[in-house]
Amino acid sequence: MQFYKDGFRGGSPDVKQAAPGRRNRGVNEPLPEKVDVLIAGTGPAGLCLAAQLAQFPDIETMIVERMPTNIIKGKADGINTRTMEMFQAFGFADKVKRETYWVNQTNFWMPDPVNPQHIKRVGRVQDVADDSSEMPHILINQARLHELFLEVMKNSASRLEPDYSWEIVSLTVDPTTDDHPVTVTLKDASGVNWWATRTVRANYVVGCDGAHSAVRKAIGGELHGDAAHQAWGVMDILANTDFPDVRQKCLISSASEGNVLILPREGGYVFRMYVELDKLKDGEKAASRKFTQDDMIAAANRIIKPYSIDVKEVVWWSIYDIGHSLTDKFDDVPEGSDRAPRVFTAGDACHTHSPKAGQGMNVSMQDTFNLGWKLVHVLQGRADPSLLRSYSKERLTEAKRLVETDHEWSRIMSAPTTQAERDGTEEPRIIRQFKANLEFTGGTAVKYDTSTLFAPPTHQALAQGEEIGRRFHSAPVVRLSDAKQMQLGHAAEADARWRIYAFAGQADSSNLGSAIHKLADWLETDAKSPVVKHTRKGEDIDAVIDVRAVFQQTFDQLAYEHMPSLFKPRTGQLGLQDHEKIFCVDHKGAGDIYDMRGIDREKGCLIVVRPDQYIANVLPLDGFDELSAFFAGVLR
Amino acid sequence: MQFYKDGFRGGSPDVKQAAPGRRNRGVNEPLPEKVDVLIAGTGPAGLCLAAQLAQFPDIETMIVERMPTNIIKGKADGINTRTMEMFQAFGFADKVKRETYWVNQTNFWMPDPVNPQHIKRVGRVQDVADDSSEMPHILINQARLHELFLEVMKNSASRLEPDYSWEIVSLTVDPTTDDHPVTVTLKDASGVNWWATRTVRANYVVGCDGAHSAVRKAIGGELHGDAAHQAWGVMDILANTDFPDVRQKCLISSASEGNVLILPREGGYVFRMYVELDKLKDGEKAASRKFTQDDMIAAANRIIKPYSIDVKEVVWWSIYDIGHSLTDKFDDVPEGSDRAPRVFTAGDACHTHSPKAGQGMNVSMQDTFNLGWKLVHVLQGRADPSLLRSYSKERLTEAKRLVETDHEWSRIMSAPTTQAERDGTEEPRIIRQFKANLEFTGGTAVKYDTSTLFAPPTHQALAQGEEIGRRFHSAPVVRLSDAKQMQLGHAAEADARWRIYAFAGQADSSNLGSAIHKLADWLETDAKSPVVKHTRKGEDIDAVIDVRAVFQQTFDQLAYEHMPSLFKPRTGQLGLQDHEKIFCVDHKGAGDIYDMRGIDREKGCLIVVRPDQYIANVLPLDGFDELSAFFAGVLR
Ligand SMILES: Cc1cc2nc3c(=O)[nH]c(=O)nc-3n(C[C@H](O)[C@H](O)[C@H](O)COP(=O)(O)OP(=O)(O)OC[C@H]3O[C@@H](n4cnc5c(N)ncnc54)[C@H](O)[C@@H]3O)c2cc1C
Ligand SMILES: Cc1cc2nc3c(=O)[nH]c(=O)nc-3n(C[C@H](O)[C@H](O)[C@H](O)COP(=O)(O)OP(=O)(O)OC[C@H]3O[C@@H](n4cnc5c(N)ncnc54)[C@H](O)[C@@H]3O)c2cc1C
């Protein structure tokens, strides 16, 4: 991490210098009249967006929540590798890694063919395939995750905090103006203000207000989908058990008592159980069945025989019967219209999922990570408002894929086992499907379609392991200036900047006249260079597009003094040299990034990565015109 | 990390539940009349001790500091790998790793033989040898390090904070009583209390009050040693330069302008320079020379020709002329007496070092990490007060070794280069010596002598890479219960507990009757077992001695259900099973701990590790009597 660029400041480097002119918050302070972005809801979707926007004090962001404070327990807990990669960009992945449970193995238990009343382990699957991500798959209390985002907000230059106890009741959009066209009505939800209502005008409103979203309803959205026909009980417990795999994720199917899912959790003691309860009738809600926590514990004990569970404390429990559902679009643009959107929905507000695949919370955050940088670009005048239309398009396609896979998985989880599976002569379908799904559940299978934001794969052969439309897949490198081993992907922060990684060809050590040197000089000075075109006067040269280089030599074979100035720019208020833009292959056995990601050794290549870490383009090192053209389609 | 053992608690797991009955602090509150331990000074030595004692709310600890607040910049910055291993036990190594500069390479520059007025790189040395520690060598602002310790204190059950603006002026020890025999006189140093004096009585006083220690003087200690004959200027700067190695640690010797040491620092921009200034006359102090920061910058620019440095901001600078010095003993026990000590000195208060080897701050913390657990044992009545005599003995021997090596290093650093070195026909002595010193500067060369606390090396052959008297050298393992890859050494926390690692022999998978199983059963139940003898009624079985097992099989070859109950104890208020005591070899290529540490594969062994991470004993798995006898010599 880089800091002190504008001069020394003591204390934690995560606490940024506060920007001036922030509004005061608190019960005695008025709400603002106008904001740039109003976010509804402090769930994972809302907080991820707020943490992103908080980095830009020039953008006035407000996040409202009808509850009086953050939750302290419960709800979702699964964070897949892709989401962890995003946390890295927000700066708290290390913290999460330290304090959470890592899902290393998933184990499968089924009725013992010899004694079907007892369960037996039938398989183990390594949960995160080697080199599928540099990050672990982890489990954490959702409330704690909220805190980590809240910290990022609070430590940002804008010192953003939620306005709690305000509920969005309605909103209207005035299509005739561009001056804060959305009027939102908020109602005091605590009673401290005698349930008063207030209005706030916003340029953009993002409804991250969960499955019963008021924002979605206000723009005429509806959730379509399956009602859940199955009630699941979920409980986080502190308990003793003789079940030997209690600290591994387990899918357990009993012969006749139903299924249990075990998810060990942070801290070494607590774990979560999803217990399959009764099937529901059409239109019936689980709540009406009045299941108790004792019902759930009893069911779990029946399912895991011959083992048993002795519960010492029930931390949290809930009956969960949300199925798969989806709205038609994630913004307020009427069918057939080509105006830019003003209101968006994200997360559970526009799609819900069964908890079994553990995707809900992840997808919610990925939604707003997709939207965040687009809002920043448009509000900063760097892109045309039409950019915002891509949000609904990109995320809706993904949500549909998710619902399909989720469907398939649910079907398999509840299908009866075959005789061959029970005999052990055939690998159970559930295990096969689980393996096939790993990339999907890891969140790394997401692939966006070709658009102005994703170039066609004309030059994909230059970087076979870095596919356009998919997330940039990190790999080990060594930083040239200080010989530090690191992950190339960790150069990217959640700062709404684009990245261009220039991979040098074999012979290229940045000697004068080499492809890398020519590229750097062109990018730095040519009138057609996207860096020159899209960076404003007075801004740092890497303010919008951050270009970095990777070489095939090891650090001791390269001369730092010969590197082009674009890769050692002088930036910030003091004009200090940045020494963190040049990388080379790892010399300590961590792997060669060119081999690992199928980069053309001979020719090298350019990889253009969006602010949300998705690969937008792969080009030859001299693809100057194509590079210009690509950015001209996105930025102003 | 483990938490929720006594029930769920939301929020950051680093914030422990506060113990009741803590005193209020602040200018309007009285100082306590009596405390168990009074620590003087909030430098690294004092804070490391306070952070350790803060974990024990039953021990009343007070830490006073004459300054009104923590420093914000300056002083030392080097943290060696050994100290990082200790930080791991305090829980903040990950934070430090994330935000600091890592010293990966040290480079050497000397006069270019072709043009001696210019410097030239003559060598590079990997700064931390492979597998010498799992930790990096890092550089950090000392003030920030203080903050990390202050956080640990504040988050502990005792919520310990320093009493700032109180200066120790004198103390007396009453040898006739055991009831708080040390009377300390404190003086208000801020003037808020009109420079009033107060007395506080303590059971133990630890002078961590730096080179001019009032505590040392009060017990008649004197620093003997070399005056520094050399003034060094030190400055932390934000600067641009064409010197290509500015982000690597460099030792630079010019032909006739002196030497510079470059230490890159946290955040990617700031770096430290030590600049050799004029030689001093006998008895002359550097301060009298009135060097300015401009003198230093000018000297640096002369030394690093043909390169130059353009300074944008001087963050901190100082003229530093502290040499090597040492007191005769680190406690108040008179020569020839056999009473237990009541007053100690630690860190700069009893030994100072030149900054060139970067040891001062590290050794200061290692002093009090050595003392901390001993104070805890004695104050909790677990050990005889005579245990405290080992502190001065162990640390004085180490300090002497350090002063010697330091001497040697200084001599070599200022010796003129030979012709062969300048020609490049011979590796410069400074590089050879630097390499030879690496283990020493890493802090991992420390080896304590045989004593009641360190058994003779009778069974050392069973674990050749884990030498008695040296720090336990961590290695990769996989935790059995959840298949997590981790470092075995990270099982140890700064909690004043002993660890016994039982390494199983080849065939042993903890089947009934196996050596591991017998050992575990004996330890858990036999009247002669140190676990049984030294653990009090009502305490958790691992309250004093924490026993863990390591197996040669991989996790999928072992049956958790067959493991002895000692390794799955039920502890804490809820009696919850602990699943984190059993390890096996790594199955993912990180290395086999048996091979890496020379553990006897056939027979296995026991390694007994002190609370400060030093290996106290190596024994065969059936060395029951020897194990009993060892602990009987230490614990009650
Ligand atoms: C009771 C419960 C249990 C769950 N259990 C699981 C589980 O076991 N496993 C799993 O994977 N997922 C579970 N989920 C789902 C998971 O928590 C969601 O997928 C995830 O939280 C979605 O994040 P989000 O930000 O889109 O919405 P949410 O987390 O639902 O956040 C929406 C926020 O908006 C607030 N809000 C709502 N309406 C308004 C309004 N009009 N004005 C202002 N604020 C408003 C809400 O108070 C809430 O804080 C559960 C959800 C619930 C509600
Ligand atoms: C100005 C300066 C520059 C230094 N620069 C370097 C460097 O460049 N490189 C390097 O390796 N090392 C340097 N050092 C040394 C390094 O900081 C020490 O080795 C290290 O801090 C030792 O830690 P300590 O806790 O023993 O003592 P210190 O860090 O010195 O802490 C002692 C504390 O005790 C307080 N104190 C003193 N007397 C009293 C009293 N009577 N009552 C109450 N409180 C008292 C002091 O205010 C201070 O906070 C420097 C030291 C100083 C003073």
CA distances from B28 to A246, B25, B31, B40, B192 (A): 52, 8, 10, 21, 10
Nearest-neighbour CA in chain A from B106: distance (Å)? 10
- Residue A28's pLDDT band (boundaries 50, 70, 90)? confident
Show the domains of chain A with their CATH numbers: 17-100+140-222+328-413 (3.50.50.60), 102-134+226-323 (3.30.9.10), 460-633 (3.40.30.20)
**B562 contact A CB<8A:** no
Name the residue among A394, A385, A391 with its Cα closest to residue A372: A391
**B167 contact A CB<8A:** no
Using DSSP, state whether B102 is helix, strand or coil.
strand
Best mutation target among A2, A3, A4, A107 (most B Cβ atoms within 10 Å) is: A4
Chain A contact set for B105 (CB, 8 A): 482-483
Nearest-neighbour CA in chain A from B472: distance (Å)? 22
pLDDT for the residue A491: 96
In this structure, which residue's CA is closest to atom 51 in ligand 1? A75
pLDDT for the residue B343: 98
Nearest-neighbour CA in chain A from B565: distance (Å)? 11
Q: Which residues sit with their C-beta closer than 6 Å to ligand 2?
A: B 40-46, 64-67, 75-76, 142, 167-168, 208-210, 214, 234, 318, 320, 347-349, 355, 358, 360-361, 364
Using DSSP, state whether B231 is helix, strand or coil.
strand
Ligand nearest to the CA of B163: 2
Q: Which two tokens stand for residue A356?
A: 């079994």
Mean pLDDT of B384-391: 98
Residues β-bridged to residue B608: B500, B617
Q: Can you list the alpha helix ranges (DSSP code H) found in A131-218?
A: 142-155, 214-218
- The residue of chain B nearest to residue A237, with distances taken between CA atoms, is B8
Question: Under a CB-based contact definition with an 8 Å cutoff, are residues A615 and A607 in contact?
Answer: yes
Mean pLDDT of B474-490: 98
The DSSP letter of residue A31 is P
Ligand nearest to the CA of A235: 1
- Provide CB contacts within 8 A for B385, sequence distance 6+: B340, B378
Mean pLDDT of A409-433: 83
The DSSP letter of residue B602 is T
- The Cβ-side half-sphere exposure at A128, using a 13 Å CA radius, reads 23
State yes or no: pLDDT of B375 exceeds 70: yes
Name residues 99-128 of chain A within 8 A of B (Cβ). 99, 101-102, 104-105, 124
pLDDT for the residue A284: 67
- Residue A280's pLDDT band (boundaries 50, 70, 90)? low
State yes or no: pLDDT of A289 exceeds 80: no
In this structure, which residue's CA is closest to atom 37 in ligand 1? A209
The sign one gets for the Cα dihedral A59, A65, A71, A76 is: negative
Chain B contact set for A491 (CB, 8 A): none
Mean pLDDT of B610-614: 98
Instruction: Give the one of B5, B73, B124 whose C-beta lies nearest to A269's C-beta.
Output: B5
- The residue of chain B nearest to residue A587, with distances taken between CA atoms, is B126
Peptide bond into A306 cis (omega under 30): yes
- Contact state of B4 with A143 under an 8 Å Cβ cutoff: no
pLDDT for the residue B284: 66
State yes or no: pLDDT of B229 exceeds 80: no
Mean pLDDT of B309-319: 96
Chain A contact set for B482 (CB, 8 A): 101-102, 104-105, 247-248, 264
Mean pLDDT of A11-34: 92
> What's the CA-to-centroid distance between A301 and ligand 1, angstroms?
29
Name the residue among A485, A502, A625 with its Cα closest to residue A563: A502
Mean pLDDT of B108-134: 95
**B556 contact A CB<8A:** yes
Cα B442 to Cα B128: distance, rounded to the nearest angstrom: 7
Mean pLDDT of B259-270: 96
Kindly report, residue by residue over B542-598, the tens digit of the pLDDT. 999 999 999 999 999 999 999 999 999 999 999 999 999 999 999 999 999 999 999
Mean pLDDT of A460-473: 98
- Residue B225's pLDDT band (boundaries 50, 70, 90)? confident
- Provide CB contacts within 8 A for A481, sequence distance 6+: A560, A579, A580, A582, B246, B247, B248
pLDDT for the residue B281: 66
pLDDT for the residue A51: 98
The DSSP letter of residue B176 is T
**A220 contact B CB<8A:** no
Question: Under a CB-based contact definition with an 8 Å cutoff, are residues B116 and B416 in contact?
Answer: no
The phi and psi torsions of A502 (rounded to 5 degrees) equal -100, 110
pLDDT for the residue A229: 64
- E-strand ranges in B321-355 read 325-326, 343-345, 351-352
Mutate to test the pocket of ligand 1, among A209, A230, A350 (most ligand atoms within 8 A of CB): A209
Name the residue among B514, B519, B477 with its Cα closest to residue B500: B519
pLDDT for the residue B421: 82
| pTM for the whole structure | 0.96
State yes or no: pLDDT of A130 exceeds 80: yes
For the ranges A121-125, A189-193, A197-201, B562-566, which has the lowest average pLDDT?
A189-193
Cα A565 to Cα A549: distance, rounded to the nearest angstrom: 12
pLDDT for the residue A286: 64
What is the number of the ligand 2 atom nearest to the C-alpha of B214?
41
- Residue A412's pLDDT band (boundaries 50, 70, 90)? confident
Name residues 44-63 of chain B within 8 A of A (Cβ). none
Mean pLDDT of B597-606: 98
**B95 contact A CB<8A:** yes
Instruction: Give the one of B94, B144, B316 whose C-beta lies nearest to A98's C-beta.
Output: B94
- The Cβ-side half-sphere exposure at A579, using a 13 Å CA radius, reads 31
- Residue B323's pLDDT band (boundaries 50, 70, 90)? confident
Peptide bond into B564 cis (omega under 30): no
Cα B274 to Cα B624: distance, rounded to the nearest angstrom: 54
DSSP string for A264-279: E-TTTT-EEEEEEEEE
Burial of A21 (0-12, 13-18, 19+ CB in 10 A): exposed
Nearest-neighbour CA in chain A from B148: distance (Å)? 9
> What's the CA-to-centroid distance between A273 and ligand 1, angstroms?
19
Residues β-bridged to residue B150: none
> What's the CA-to-centroid distance between A319 and ligand 1, angstroms?
14
| Residue % of chain A over a pLDDT of 70 | 98
Chain A contact set for B1 (CB, 8 A): 98-99, 267-268
For the ranges A150-154, A496-500, B439-443, which has the lowest average pLDDT?
B439-443
Kindly report, residue by residue over A490-546, the tens digit of the pLDDT. 999 999 999 999 999 998 999 889 999 999 999 999 999 999 999 999 999 999 999
pLDDT for the residue A228: 60
State yes or no: pLDDT of B144 exceeds 90: yes
Kindly report, residue by residue over A228-265, the tens digit of the pLDDT. 667 788 999 999 999 999 999 999 999 988 899 999 99
CB atoms inside a 10 Å sphere around CB A10: 16
**A356 pocket-lining for ligand 1 (C-beta < 6 Å):** no
pLDDT for the residue B283: 66
**A456 contact B CB<8A:** no
- Residue B326's pLDDT band (boundaries 50, 70, 90)? very high
Name the residue among A391, A442, A599 with its Cα closest to residue A78: A442
- Residue B408's pLDDT band (boundaries 50, 70, 90)? confident
Residues β-bridged to residue B517: none
The phi and psi torsions of B381 (rounded to 5 degrees) equal 75, 20
Mean pLDDT of A207-227: 93
Kindly report, residue by residue over A60-117, the tens digit of the pLDDT. 999 999 999 999 998 999 999 999 999 999 999 999 999 999 999 999 999 999 999 9
DSSP string for B270-324: -EEEEEEEEEPPTT--GGGG---HHHHHHHHHHHTTT--EEEEEEEEEEEE----
